[in-house]
């Protein structure tokens, strides 16, 4: 059964480290993943085991100007919807680091995660694998 980390609602301003959106419309920024919410940058990776916690992080390079981010988690090569939820964010932040899943919550496979603002603008996207 899927369980979101308690840290999901606790968002942290991302000071550096994630690629940003091209202000000229260059597409979504790269979403990064880590096995540690508290030590995000030191443990960034894209391949996890079923015993790893998973956190996500992104920085779009400009203020988000909204109070909510939709996070969509897609599973497999076909991108089947696994989960979708909204989470609060400070409008002055340019990104966030958030707990995504506790160890053991996900089956083995490939997952794609999208951060969506406003009217469906995908501002960050990334993939990870659980082995």
Task: Give pLDDT, residue 33.
Answer: 97
- Phi, psi torsion values for 42, nearest 5 degrees: -75, -20
Based on the number of CB atoms within 10 Å of its own CB, is 115 exposed (0-12), middle (13-18) or buried (19 or more)? buried
- Per DSSP bridges, beta strands 95-101 and 29-30 are unpaired
pLDDT digits (tens, 9 = 90+) for 13-60: 333 333 334 333 568 999 999 999 899 999 999 999 999 999 999 999
Task: Give pLDDT, residue 25.
Answer: 55
Task: Give pLDDT, residue 49.
Answer: 93
- Please determine, for residue 81, whether its predicted confidence score (pLDDT) is greater than 50: yes
Rounded to an integer, what distance in angstroms lies between the CA atom of residue 85 and that of residue 83? 7
Range list of H helices, 29-80: none
- pLDDT category of residue 3 using cuts at 50, 70 and 90: very low
Task: Give pLDDT, residue 18.
Answer: 37
Task: Give pLDDT, residue 118.
Answer: 81
Average pLDDT of the chain, as a whole number: 82
Closest by CA position to 115, among listed 1, 2, 14, 6:
14
Q: Name the CATH superfamily, with its identifier, for domain 6-130.
A: Macroglobulin (MG2) domain (2.60.40.1930)
Mean predicted confidence (pLDDT) in 94-120: 91
């Amino acid at each position: 059964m899927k369980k979101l980390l308690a840290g999901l609602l606790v968002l942290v301003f991302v000071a550096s480290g994630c690629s940003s959106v091209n202000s000229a419309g260059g597409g979504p920024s790269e979403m990064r993943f880590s096995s540690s919410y508290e030590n995000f940058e030191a443990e960034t990776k894209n391949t996890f085991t079923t015993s790893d916690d998973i956190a996500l992080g992104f920085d779009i390079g400009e203020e988000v100007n909204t109070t909510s981010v939709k996070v969509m988690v897609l599973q497999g090569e076909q991108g089947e919807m696994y989960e979708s939820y909204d989470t609060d964010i400070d409008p002055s932040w340019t990104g966030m680091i958030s707990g995504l899943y506790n160890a053991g919550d996900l089956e083995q496979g490939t997952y794609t995660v999208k951060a969506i603002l406003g009217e469906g603008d995908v501002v960050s996207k990334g993939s990870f694998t659980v082995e």
